[in-house]
Each structure stands twice: as C-alpha cells, then as structure tokens.
Amino acid sequence: MNKKTILITGASTGIGKTTAQYFAEQGWNVAATMRTPEKATGFEAFTGIKLYQLDVTDEQSIARAIDSVIKDFGKIDVLVNNAGYGAVGVFEKATKEQIQKQFDTNVFGVMNVTRHILPHFRANGAGTLINVSSMGGRLTFPLYSVYHATKWALEGWAESLQFEVRQFGIRIKNIEPGAIKTDFMGRSMDVFSKPDLIAYDTYEAIATKNTEESYKSAPDSAVVAKTIFKAANDSSYQLRYPASGQASLFLFLRRLLPLGIFNGLVRLAVEKGFKN
C-alpha cells in the first residue's frame, strides 16, 4: 500500500512537532515545515520525517515547500494548518502592529497555505485540510480578545469553505484543543504592554494568575496529535473535533447554557479574587 503524506506547518515545537512524530510512528510520510529547520531538534530518530522551510506569512516559502514535498513524495494527502501563536492581554494595550501580526499568522497565514494546496487537492480529486483552531474559536475568555478573533475567523471561514470544495472530494476539519502544555504560554506568547495605562492592572494581574493556574493541569500535545490522526483518517465530512476533555466539556456547556450563564461561569473562574 502506498504511504500517505502529511504536511504540517509550525512543526518545530508543541502540537505540530508531536503530530509530526505521531504520524511518522503510524507509518506516514511527514513533511514537517517550520520557519528555521536548521534549529530543529528531536526528529533524528524518525526516518519518515523530512524537514522543510516554510513561514506562513511568506508566499514564496509556501510555494517552494509545497513543490518540494510533492517532488519528494509524489503527492500530499493531508495539510495541517497548525502554525499560530497567542497575542494576548488587555485589548486597549495592543498596538496596531501586534494585532496585524496576529491576523497575518493565525488567519492570513492559514489562508495563504490553503490557497497554495487547493489546486493540488483538486487535481487529485481528494485531500484533507486540517486547521488547528481552538475551543477558543467558539467561546471566549478575558484577555484573549485578539487571539479569539483569529480563531473565530478560522471557524467561520472553514465552515463556509467546506461547501465549495466538497465537490472535489476535499474535506475540511477544524481541531479544537483546550489548554495544552506547549510553548504557547511561554516563548511564543506576545503580551500587550503599555506601562502608562494602569487602570486595568488589578484585573489583568488576577485574570492572568488564574489563567496560568488553570494551565498547570493542562495535558500535553499527544491528545491533539491523536485527534488530528483521527480526523485525517475520517472519511466523513465532519467539520469539528474538540481535542481534550476540557475542550469537549467547555464546548458542550457553551452549547447547552445561555451565554449569560456560561460567561458567569467564566467570570467565576478567571476573575476569582477580583472585586468590582
């Protein structure tokens, strides 16, 4: 049987890296793409993984990487739009550049890579496009307004796109992780800062502390890699896959409860200790 090939963006660390390793263990050809492959570690033991340079904000690097992967493996069966990061904090402290960069990566980056892969998928009469969205693409927490806006954008975009491409045998799948232990909360995070603006200080400190506290019990990225594997092998046209127990529970409650009640629970958790 011919091996299937998956291309993953943002595979240097976290969910992308674990997904690359997991698919290689299952016998897939893996094109692990990243901004700086020369710095990559942890792939040496996997003969099925090949590294490629790809920055989702750079069209040339996208075209070059996709062409190389097709030359090396014959075709691409699955694309995972995983690259992304969080630009977070009090919205009033965000600069225009920080907001622009967040959308350039999390939204326009995904659209860039997708525009480049669709002709290939159409020509093959098959292809699965998997977006690493977030449970935060369908519900919200304080201090994440810009990040949420990007993930909500992905959810609406994917929900519409699936109508157009289904006729070509192309499946769209959004993976919706809850909190996952990766570099997301560390070196990848862009925190809005405006030292002169002190009006939000108490709120910001409390909400940040409570959010960080909740991340301590987050699972590692294996749960997401396994969900991506399930979606990649699912021949149905199911669009959404919550990834982690937390994501399943929170998305269930968000559907079940009126928004005012759900957001009351969010405030109880994230604003615990804040007196208004």
Ligand X SMILES: NC(=O)c1ccc[n+]([C@@H]2O[C@H](COP(=O)([O-])OP(=O)(O)OC[C@H]3O[C@@H](n4cnc5c(N)ncnc54)[C@H](OP(=O)(O)O)[C@@H]3O)[C@@H](O)[C@H]2O)c1
- Specify whether the backbone of 165 is left (phi greater than 0), alpha (psi in -120 to 50) or beta: alpha
Residue with smaller CB distance to ligand X, 71 or 187: 187
Sole window of 8-16, 158-166, 192-200, 249-257 interacting with ligand X (rule: CB under 6 A): 8-16
Q: Pick from 4, 6, 9, 142: which binds ligand X (CB under 6 A)?
A: 9
Binding marks (x or -) toward ligand X, 227..256, rule CB under 6 A?
------------------------------
Cβ 97 to ligand X shortest distance, Å? 15
Q: Pick from 20, 22, 55, 76: which binds ligand X (CB under 6 A)?
A: 55
Please report which residue ranges of 32-124 form alpha helices under DSSP H: 59-73, 96-103, 109-124
Report residue 143 as tokens.
Answer: 């201090």
Residue 223: φ, ψ to 5°: -65, -35
Q: Does 142 bind ligand X (CB under 6 A)?
A: no
Q: Does 13 bind ligand X (CB under 6 A)?
A: yes
Using CB atoms within 10 A of its CB, is residue 187 exposed (0-12), middle (13-18) or buried (19+)? exposed
CA separation for the pair 61, 135 (Å, rounded): 29
Residue with smaller CB distance to ligand X, 59 or 164: 59
Binding marks (x or -) toward ligand X, 148..187, rule CB under 6 A?
-----------------------------x-xx-xxx---
Of all residues in the shown chain, the one whose CB is closest to ligand X is 14
146-150, long-range: CB within 8 Å, 24+ apart, which pairs? Answer: 146/87, 146/88, 146/91, 146/94, 146/98, 146/99, 146/102, 147/86, 147/87, 147/88, 147/102, 147/106, 149/103, 150/84, 150/102, 150/103, 150/106, 150/107
Residue with smaller CB distance to ligand X, 165 or 189: 189
Cβ 176 to ligand X shortest distance, Å? 7
Is 144 catalytic? The answer is no
SS in 3 state form for 134-153?
Answer: CHHHCCCCCCCHHHHHHHHH
- Helix, coil or strand: residue 25: helix
Cβ 16 to ligand X shortest distance, Å? 5
Contact 7, 76 (CB under 8 A): yes
Q: Pick from 49, 56, 78, 80: which binds ligand X (CB under 6 A)?
A: 56
Contact 243, 221 (CB under 8 A): no
Q: Does 12 bind ligand X (CB under 6 A)?
A: yes
Report residue 115 as tokens.
Answer: 């525009």
* Of 147, 203, 237, 241, catalytic: 147
Residue with smaller CB distance to ligand X, 126 or 222: 222
Cβ 146 to ligand X shortest distance, Å? 12
Footprint of ligand X on 80-109 (CB under 6 A): 82-85, 105, 109
Contact 147, 136 (CB under 8 A): yes
Residues with a known catalytic role: 147
- Residues in the site for ligand X, rule: CB under 6 A? 9-10, 12-16, 34-36, 55-57, 82-85, 105, 109, 132, 134, 177, 179-180, 182-184, 188
